Amino acid sequence: MSKRFDNKRLLVIFAGLFVLLLLTVLVKMPRERSTLKGNLVEIDSSSVGKIIITPKYGTGDPFEFRKEDDKWNIVQGDIVSVPMKGAVTNILSEIMAVKPQALAAKGESGWKDYELTDSLATNVKIVNKKGKEIADVMIGKFSYKQVGNPYGGYGGNNIEGTTYVRLAGEKEVYAVDGFLAFSFSGGFNDWRDKSFVKCNKDDITKIIFTMPSDSSFTLVKRDSLWYAGNQKADSAKTANYLNSLSLVDGQEFMDGYKPDSFPVCQMVIEGNNLLNITVKCFKGEGGNLILNSSQNPEVYFSGKRDGIFDELFKPLNYFF
């Protein structure tokens, strides 16, 4: 057998192998990619009547969002509260946007590694208005890596995140770009409306402070100047105080609290284009202060003296 013949035969074999490799790339790989779902779930958001969230084991009890008479409530046990603004819209948007980027595992053996067992995962279940379950998503492990940012200047870096998910009842684990795990890491109180006082500082014209003993006074605006009591107030201190009233959030919920006495102090905020805002302060057990606002009247917050009580209830001499 000649050397020339051997070389020719080798070329034929090599060409065959190359064609086989090419076919594998062009046929097999697209087929594997096609097994990935486009979006993990498809939901008609207008049909949703309930969202049930079960946090990871040991991080909190299950809670749910319920739609009743076109109004959403957040519920845990006997506590029925108002969800923070946009909570339900954000949840549905996040879930509907979940798009698998890669198949991370095909069977149950990978669930623990990706924190997707029943106890390690966060479970988000979506039910329609007729009571039918339309999505059940398990959210597990989060991983990240730093990547160079060509527009970030010297030392500039970005963080790329990956969250691992699966559908309840299915074995496949998918890798999803983004920070989905953090979006659902909070407990019941993290999803509740904590708003306490919210207003435009430029609309305020008067604040009436009803305080113990003889310490009551009124902060009032006259001809563009502010007066505390009958004296002209310090403009910088007054401006700082009014700025703080633009947005005040509560801190610790006092669920189940019912006032059994008159408030120990009170403030009423009045102004233009502004419904009067009333804040009441009650004395709780152990000298604890409990606050309530007419803007969120069904909720009571702990008002510790180093918290929103001191932020809201200023003594007269503060303004001089």
Whether residues 152 and 278 fall in one domain: no
- Along the 320 residues of the chain, how does pLDDT read in single tens digits? 454 446 666 565 665 665 565 555 454 444 444 467 789 999 999 999 999 999 999 999 999 999 999 999 999 999 999 999 999 999 999 999 999 999 999 999 999 999 999 999 999 999 999 999 999 999 999 999 887 665 654 445 688 899 999 999 999 999 999 999 999 999 999 999 999 999 999 999 999 999 998 899 999 999 999 999 989 999 999 999 999 999 999 989 999 999 988 999 999 999 999 999 999 999 988 878 999 999 999 999 998 766 899 999 999 999 99
Which residue type occupies 201? Answer: K
What is the rounded distance in angstroms from the CA atom of residue 295 to the CA atom of residue 240? 22
- Residue 54 forms part of a structural domain: yes
β-pair type (122-128, 133-148): antiparallel
Q: Which residue, of 166, 191, 216, is where some domain finishes?
A: 191
Residues 6+ apart with CB under 8 A from 146: 157, 158, 159, 160
The CA-CA-CA angle for residues 202, 206, 210, to 5°, reads: 140
Whether residues 58 and 179 fall in one domain: yes
Whether residues 136 and 121 fall in one domain: yes
- Residue 4 forms part of a structural domain: no
Buried b (16+ CB within 10 A) or exposed e, 53-77: bbbbeeebeebbbbeeeeebebbbe
Give me Rg for the CA atoms of the chain. 30
Whether residues 137 and 273 fall in one domain: no
Residues 6+ apart with CB under 8 A from 293: 196, 197, 277, 278, 279, 280
Tallying the residues shown for the chain, one arrives at: 320
Whether residues 201 and 176 fall in one domain: no
Query: Which of 147, 129, 53 has the alpha carbon at shortest distance from 91?
Result: 53
Determine the pLDDT at residue 149. 63
What is the rounded distance in angstroms from the CA atom of residue 301 to the CA atom of residue 289? 8
Tokens of 122: 């966060």
Whether residues 238 and 179 fall in one domain: no
Whether residues 162 and 225 fall in one domain: no
- Residue 96 forms part of a structural domain: yes
Query: Which of 171, 103, 187 has the alpha carbon at shortest distance from 138?
Result: 171
Count of CB atoms within 10 A of residue 281's CB?
21
Question: For 196, how many CA atoms within 13 A lie in the half-sphere containing its CB?
Answer: 25
When divided into structural domains, the chain yields a total of 2
β-pair type (204-210, 100-105): unpaired
Whether residues 59 and 150 fall in one domain: yes
- Residue 29 forms part of a structural domain: no
Whether residues 94 and 136 fall in one domain: yes
69 in Cβ contact with 3 (< 8 Å): no
Determine the pLDDT at residue 147. 76
This prediction has a pTM of 0.81
Q: Which residue, of 138, 170, 191, is where some domain finishes?
A: 191
- Residue 301 forms part of a structural domain: yes
Count of CB atoms within 10 A of residue 251's CB?
13
Tokens of 17: 């192998």
Whether residues 68 and 183 fall in one domain: yes
Whether residues 203 and 179 fall in one domain: no
- Residue 108 forms part of a structural domain: yes
Tokens of 285: 């057990």
Determine the pLDDT at residue 148. 67
Whether residues 205 and 250 fall in one domain: yes
- Residue 293 forms part of a structural domain: yes
Q: Which residue, of 191, 220, 248, is where some domain finishes?
A: 191
- Residue 32 forms part of a structural domain: no
**Can you give the residue range of the structural domain that contains 171?**
45-191
